[in-house]
Amino acid sequence: MDAPIAAPPDPPQRIELLGSAMDLVTPDQVLARIAQAAAGGPRALIANHNLHSLHLVRRTPEMAALYARADLIEIDSRPALAWGGLMGLPATGAHRCTYLDWREAFWRLADAGGWRVFYLGGAPGVAEEAARRLSTRWPGAKIAVRHGYFDHRPGAADDAAVLAEINAFAPQVLLVGMGMPLQEAWTQRHYDALNAAAVLTVGAAFDYEAGVQAAAPRILGALGLEWLFRLLHDPGRLFVRYLIEPWSLVGPALDDLARYRLGPGRGAG
């Protein structure tokens, strides 16, 4: 990804899988869309789907509304991509996208372009440490942060103050990392009022940058084993997410079978 990233000639293919819409988008295409927005092009709202979000989106109306309006929906799930391939869709490992997959190229672009990047999320002090480390490595990027421990309720003074702080900074890129489904619900409520060119939901991105959470080796992501690395490091928090929640997708998976393998669209790509 060292070469300048140009906007892709065609939009990525949007597919329906496991009950939700998502895009067959590559990291380069994600970065091209961010760069386009940062340069003054159309705004970009970029979400991501994994098995956890596919479980939650059917239970959280604000989260569903966020995905319905998103310009790009990354697929951060090897199992979902593998399932799409089994259904005859042109889903491959090249379409796996998450912050950890494109972080280096993103900060390279932010550094070269002098982008204003605001990160909202994390515990007090964590985002500040991440920003310090990132600013040392990428001094051209202008980084501002705010921890995610505030009153998120609509109409709360705390919530309004955070929105005003972000808008005063006028970021070209806003990264919202407060965990699912809070980050999606918050972004959905405020997107129209945000003075930000590109808005992305990114989970614990700055926890990794601050060194408070270990990132799985990227080879494990390529092998579809990143979930196991995370589970072993935090079993109390992730046991239900990785071993129980996916069973809620059996119904949508059966719908996929009927649609793509058994019905008129059999083998459609």
Asked if residue 162 belongs to a domain, the reply is yes
Asked if residue 5 belongs to a domain, the reply is no
| Number of folded domains that form the chain | 1
pLDDT score recorded for residue 258? 96
pLDDT score recorded for residue 169? 98
Asked if residue 53 belongs to a domain, the reply is yes
Contact 193, 159 (CB under 8 A): no
Q: Does the reported pTM lie above 0.95?
A: no
Asked if residue 8 belongs to a domain, the reply is no
Domain residue limits at 215 = 18-262
Asked if residue 99 belongs to a domain, the reply is yes
pLDDT score recorded for residue 212? 87
Length of the chain: 269
pLDDT score recorded for residue 261? 87
Asked if residue 150 belongs to a domain, the reply is yes
Asked if residue 139 belongs to a domain, the reply is yes
Which residue from 31, 43, 172 is spatially nearest to 114, judged by alpha carbons? 172
Averages of pLDDT over runs of 10 residues in the chain (269 residues) are 50 95 97 97 97 95 97 95 96 94 97 98 96 98 97 95 98 97 97 98 94 70 65 69 85 96 60
pLDDT score recorded for residue 222? 64
Asked if residue 221 belongs to a domain, the reply is yes
